[in-house]
Amino acid sequence: MDVNDNKENGGKNTGSKLLVLLIALGMMMPMFCNWEQYVPTNLQGGASWVASGLLLVLMCAFVWVNRRKQWLCLPPTRQLLPFVGVCIVLTLVTSPHIMLSPSAFCHCLVILVLVVTSLWLLMRRYSLILLAPIMLVGMFETGAHFRFKILLNSMLLAEALECSKDELMTYVTVTNISMLIAGVAFVAGVLYLLCRVITPMSKRSLGGLLLAMAALLYMMFPMLTDTYTNISHLGTFGTCKRSFRMFRDIKRASGAVGEYIESLPSPAEKPSEMPLLKDDDGCVIVFHIGESVRADRCGFNGYERDTTPNLSANPRLINWERCVASGHTTVNCLAALLTDARRDLDDINESNQEMKATCGSVMDLFKANGFAVHSFYGAFNRQSMRADKVLRMLTSASDERHYTNNDVMETVEQVKRCLQKTGNKNVFMFINNEGSHTHFYMYDQKNPPFTPSLHVVNTSPRYGDAIRNAYDNTIHYTDKFVHRVLEQLKGRPYVYVYVSDHGEYIGDYNGTWGRGKAISERSFFFSTQGGSGVSAFAVASPEYEQLNPQFAQAVAQLKESRRMTIGHEHFFHTLLGLVGMKTPYYNAELDLCSPEAKPYTGPEPEDWPDYLSPDK
Ligand SMILES: [Zn+2]
């Protein structure tokens, strides 16, 4: 024990007295406060008169013995002040919650001191090996929160795994790399400083500091704003918790959807028939699963900007203004749309809630009933690190797969060739391409309809309008794409069914971008139409209606169903209804061409704009 320490920590040491006071206050706090607030999940069982009283007695005894034996004290001011100073800097740059609610600053600071002190006590200098990555992740989170208004979560990682290499490369910019290098250098510098200021502290004063911080946190807990019900979400605790969860969830989920799809029986295993269609009717059913297209940004739904001039002018367009997505990742939505999966409405707010299916892909049924099955993908599907595998399983009935190399318009030519090749056979076409996926680049960039448009990852408010223009341009491009495919289908009995997989936040909802916020606040996802209100429409040709009076009836019924709020659950059964497929998996209540169709009744956005009002 060094001389200073001895002198500072004698019987008259002020630090020691302060420590006693803090601990005593901490222990007595529940007696003056609302008991309810002292029963958070992190302090389970710690809040009862008996427990608190017992703790107080124990602490008094400890304090008495501590004074005589000189076990613990507080560090002297000249050591404490620089240490706290460094911790304040670290808290400011590594706690995204401070931007979310500045009142959480003190909590975050106390947590950081607690973590640093305990790690140092246990591991001394080696604690930096643990601290450095935590601080870096915290800084990364703060930066991401600053730009995208999101916290670290598995959605973020899932989205990164979903996007193509090209998309990922858009993040590799000089600015981002320089920011990363600067961040690493900054954290290294602060940690070096931390090392310098904490080294002279004795074990006794570090122990005292640890105890004092624990008592402080105990006292401060009820002062936490309503946003946080648990201190484990805050500061360094939160960073660790979120990082751990993110990797756990993604590890669990990465194979899970694929394994789940594999485990489902094919609907074609049970007998099915299609009495209304003959093999040489030449009927074409197109199922286009769109990317990230929100209902409220489509001109045909009443959006003030005409993002869909071709479809708006199409007299045969049947658009559902209110369609609620089943999830917020492409993989899950693809699985929900192609199988008979339904959400469990009793358990809808469970964050791990998955849609449960009883059979595999609807495409198997079309194949089993004599359809030629062709799938058309964007370049993005082939490059995608995660979605590709699941999509391949779901579309395994495909006779042929067509990929584009660059532009989605290449598909138009592929569709043309496919129609020539299949002659008068019935054809099922599945389409899933770039659509309006981030970073909103799939449009004619030399000649964009809405300017200025910017397809960048930078989402600072300065670029907000230009990026939203780019988003609208992608929808305009999809409109052109659908129009061109419809031209190829002209003269054939066809039904083109389109539904987007999920929505997208485009700087609205308090500056939210992407879908990262959706998983951490599932209710947020359901309460905003930016998250879950997706574009959905169908176009049926007159030749299709002429094939069979029941098909004309189906189209009339589809038009009727426009008034309904629908969900992803409807599409599997509607595709079957369109061709009059008879299978034990068919449910007329979810078939929009059936008079028995029932609307979607699960959670839906509370903020549909007025123009998305089917009842108007
Ligand atoms: Zn998607």
| Of 511 and 610, the one with more pLDDT | 610
User: What average pLDDT does the chain have?
Assistant: 84
Per-residue pLDDT at 228 exceeds 60: no
How close is the Cα of 599 to the center of ligand 1, in Å? 24
Whether the bond into 439 is cis, omega within 30 of 0:
yes
How close is the Cα of 598 to the center of ligand 1, in Å? 26
Residue 43: pLDDT band with limits 50, 70, 90 = very low
Whether the bond into 452 is cis, omega within 30 of 0:
yes
How close is the Cα of 377 to the center of ligand 1, in Å? 13
Sign of CA dihedral 486, 489, 491, 494: negative
How close is the Cα of 167 to the center of ligand 1, in Å? 13
| Strand duo 505-507 + 372-377: pairing | unpaired
How close is the Cα of 404 to the center of ligand 1, in Å? 17
Q: Which of 13-22, 169-178, 196-205 is the least confident region?
A: 13-22
Interval 240-282: pLDDT, tens: 888 887 777 666 665 677 888 889 999 999 999 999 999 999 9
Q: Which of 322-331, 445-454, 465-474, 607-616 is the least confident region?
A: 607-616
How close is the Cα of 435 to the center of ligand 1, in Å? 9
Q: Are 367 and 373 in contact (CB under 8 A)?
A: yes
Residue 4: pLDDT band with limits 50, 70, 90 = very low
How close is the Cα of 333 to the center of ligand 1, in Å? 8
Average pLDDT value for residue range 153-173: 65
How close is the Cα of 431 to the center of ligand 1, in Å? 13
How close is the Cα of 291 to the center of ligand 1, in Å? 5
| Of 265 and 5, the one with more pLDDT | 265
pLDDT of residue 558: 97
How close is the Cα of 330 to the center of ligand 1, in Å? 4
Give the highest mean pLDDT range of 29-38, 103-112, 142-151: 103-112
How close is the Cα of 381 to the center of ligand 1, in Å? 11
pLDDT of residue 11: 43
How close is the Cα of 436 to the center of ligand 1, in Å? 9
How close is the Cα of 101 to the center of ligand 1, in Å? 31
* Alpha carbon distances (Å) from 509 to 144, 351, 466, 531, 596: 16, 20, 17, 10, 37
Per-residue pLDDT at 342 exceeds 90: no
Residue 443: pLDDT band with limits 50, 70, 90 = very high
How close is the Cα of 34 to the center of ligand 1, in Å? 46
Query: Would you list the domain boundaries of the chain?
Result: 3-248, 264-590
| Of 390 and 420, the one with more pLDDT | 420
Count H helices, E strands: the chain? 26, 11
* pTM score, whole prediction: 0.70
How close is the Cα of 481 to the center of ligand 1, in Å? 18
| Of 76 and 470, the one with more pLDDT | 470
Give the highest mean pLDDT range of 19-28, 217-226, 460-469, 549-558: 549-558
Average pLDDT value for residue range 195-223: 85
Per-residue pLDDT at 30 exceeds 90: no
pLDDT of residue 345: 62
DSSP state of 294: B
Average pLDDT value for residue range 163-184: 77
pLDDT of residue 34: 53
How close is the Cα of 290 to the center of ligand 1, in Å? 8
DSSP state of 476: H
Look up tokens 């706290």; give the residue: 84
* CB-based contacts of 283, cutoff 8 Å, min separation 6: 277, 426, 427, 492, 493, 494, 544, 547, 579
pLDDT of residue 36: 53
Per-residue pLDDT at 408 exceeds 90: yes
How close is the Cα of 384 to the center of ligand 1, in Å? 11
How close is the Cα of 418 to the center of ligand 1, in Å? 26
Q: Which of 3-17, 307-321, 579-593 is the least confident region?
A: 3-17
| Beta strands, E only, 196-324 | 284-290, 317-320, 323-324
Interval 496-519: pLDDT, tens: 999 999 999 998 888 888 887 776
Crossing angle for the helix pair 330-338 and 235-263, to the nearest 10 degrees: 30
How close is the Cα of 265 to the center of ligand 1, in Å? 25
* Alpha carbon distances (Å) from 41 to 115, 335, 349, 516: 19, 35, 20, 25
CATH fold of the domain at 264-590: Alkaline Phosphatase, subunit A (3.40.720)
How close is the Cα of 349 to the center of ligand 1, in Å? 21
pLDDT of residue 40: 42
Give the highest mean pLDDT range of 5-9, 154-158, 294-298: 294-298
Residue 583: pLDDT band with limits 50, 70, 90 = very high
How close is the Cα of 8 to the center of ligand 1, in Å? 62
Crossing angle for the helix pair 235-263 and 154-162, to the nearest 10 degrees: 50
How close is the Cα of 162 to the center of ligand 1, in Å? 8
How close is the Cα of 531 to the center of ligand 1, in Å? 12
Residue 445: pLDDT band with limits 50, 70, 90 = confident
How close is the Cα of 535 to the center of ligand 1, in Å? 13
| Strand duo 536-540 + 317-320: pairing | antiparallel
How close is the Cα of 515 to the center of ligand 1, in Å? 10
How close is the Cα of 441 to the center of ligand 1, in Å? 14
Per-residue pLDDT at 359 exceeds 70: yes
pLDDT of residue 586: 97
pLDDT of residue 1: 34
How close is the Cα of 372 to the center of ligand 1, in Å? 26
How close is the Cα of 239 to the center of ligand 1, in Å? 27
How close is the Cα of 222 to the center of ligand 1, in Å? 40
Q: Which of 52-56, 103-107, 552-556 is the least confident region?
A: 52-56
Per-residue pLDDT at 474 exceeds 90: yes
How close is the Cα of 591 to the center of ligand 1, in Å? 24
How close is the Cα of 293 to the center of ligand 1, in Å? 9
How close is the Cα of 380 to the center of ligand 1, in Å? 11
pLDDT of residue 235: 84
How close is the Cα of 501 to the center of ligand 1, in Å? 5
Distance CA 22, CA 416 (A): 78
Residue 67 amino acid letter: R
How close is the Cα of 558 to the center of ligand 1, in Å? 25
Main-chain dihedrals φ then ψ at residue 537, nearest 5 degrees = -160, 170
Residue 236: pLDDT band with limits 50, 70, 90 = confident
How close is the Cα of 478 to the center of ligand 1, in Å? 14
Residue 127: pLDDT band with limits 50, 70, 90 = very high
Distance CA 548, CA 550 (A): 5
Q: Which of 1-15, 39-53, 546-560 is the least confident region?
A: 1-15
How close is the Cα of 437 to the center of ligand 1, in Å? 6
How close is the Cα of 378 to the center of ligand 1, in Å? 12
Main-chain dihedrals φ then ψ at residue 384, nearest 5 degrees = -60, 140
pLDDT of residue 10: 43
How close is the Cα of 170 to the center of ligand 1, in Å? 18
How close is the Cα of 492 to the center of ligand 1, in Å? 30
Per-residue pLDDT at 614 exceeds 80: no
How close is the Cα of 39 to the center of ligand 1, in Å? 40
pLDDT of residue 2: 36
Interval 273-327: pLDDT, tens: 999 999 999 999 999 999 999 999 999 999 999 999 999 999 999 999 999 999 8
How close is the Cα of 412 to the center of ligand 1, in Å? 21
Distance CA 566, CA 363 (A): 21
DSSP, collapsed to helix, strand or coil, labels residue 378 as coil
Main-chain dihedrals φ then ψ at residue 582, nearest 5 degrees = -105, 115
How close is the Cα of 163 to the center of ligand 1, in Å? 9
